[in-house]
Amino acid sequence: MATGTRLRPVGDQDVRLRHRVVHGYRRAYRTAGEGPPVVLIHGIGDSSATWAELIPGLARRYTVLAPDLLGHGASDKPRADYSVAAYANGVRDLLGVLGIERATLVGHSLGGGVAMQFAYQYPELTERLVLVGAGGVGREVNPVLRAAALPGAELMLALLSRSAMRWPARLVIELMRLLDSDLGQDAPDLLGLVDALPDARSRSVFVRTLRAVVDRRGQVITMLDRCYLTQDMPTMLVWGSRDSVVPEAHAHRAHAAMPGSRLEIFDGAGHFPFHTDPARFLALVEDFIETTPPADWSAERWRELLRGGRLGTPVAEADSAYEVVVERG
């Protein structure tokens, strides 16, 4: 980490929840600090509140922006496009409204997929990537999420949100913890996501978002076909060794597909390593930013990478109908 950097004291009271209207919809975001911009993108069903322990620390050196994605947290929840690409566009538009020209992106779970999509769509706006338990690397995903993408999911979520179901749900969580299961590591955080879906509109957005990335067979999108484009983009992957939502194997798969990427595994942590050990996570992000130069994007280099591609490299898991292979165009 760079030495001699003056640290500004930042307390929880300095982290403010603000709102801006973009395209007629109210977008909520938390922000604090000064310096190079760092954007924190949460996962499905979550909100910017998931970064609460990290924002004050990061804000000592950086301008931190943590949006509530459309349909999440305190942002509006319209009937809208909740695809990964649409979320990347939403992040771009919010940065434009706030006058942020370039940023380091930190994305968790679905937010990791959004960050990767943002870097693909807007490489000129992206300085670095930190992907945490990111989606879009392989088909495997927790069976609970596959079930939540099926018809009738809204009713299932409505039942889980009832107060009468809280005690049985917590009993199951405690049992999974006693059995030392991987899902037991993540169950409290995952149950918190259900708590964040208090009404029918919130539950509808959750299901619409989930169905954009998951079906009964698992994840339906992949970033592996374009990972070679990150070879000029400083990238760090952070995973929990006991991630019950997106398996650790995905971290190694992404690391192999992303030239020059760093990989950090939090031993014993689940899908939320920044909750398990926020001090270590903060130190890693700060060190990564301070020891890597921002991406130096150029249209010529982008064309060179696209034309080179990933010759002969499989980019999707074998399917009953087809297997995708990249060939030189």
Q: Catalytic residue, from 109, 161, 204, 261: name it.
A: 109
Contact 68, 74 (CB under 8 A): yes
Q: Catalytic residue, from 182, 243, 255, 275: name it.
A: 243
Alpha-carbon distance 127 to 296, whole Å?
Answer: 8
Alpha-carbon distance 122 to 152, whole Å?
Answer: 36
Alpha-carbon distance 303 to 324, whole Å?
Answer: 22
Contact 104, 36 (CB under 8 A): yes
CA distances to 43, 174, 230, 270, 280 from 238, in Å: 14, 27, 16, 11, 11
Residue 109 catalytic? yes
And the tokens for 264?
């950090």
Residue 83 catalytic? no
Q: How many CB atoms lie within 10 A of CB 118?
A: 28
User: For residue 216, what is the DSSP state?
Assistant: T
> What strands lie across the sheet with 235-240, from one edge to the other?
16-22, 25-32, 63-67, 37-41, 103-108, 126-132, 235-240, 262-266
Residues pairing with 126 in the sheet: 103
How many alpha carbons fall within 13 Å on the CB side of residue 96?
A: 10
Alpha-carbon distance 69 to 71, whole Å?
Answer: 6
Active site residues: 109, 243, 271
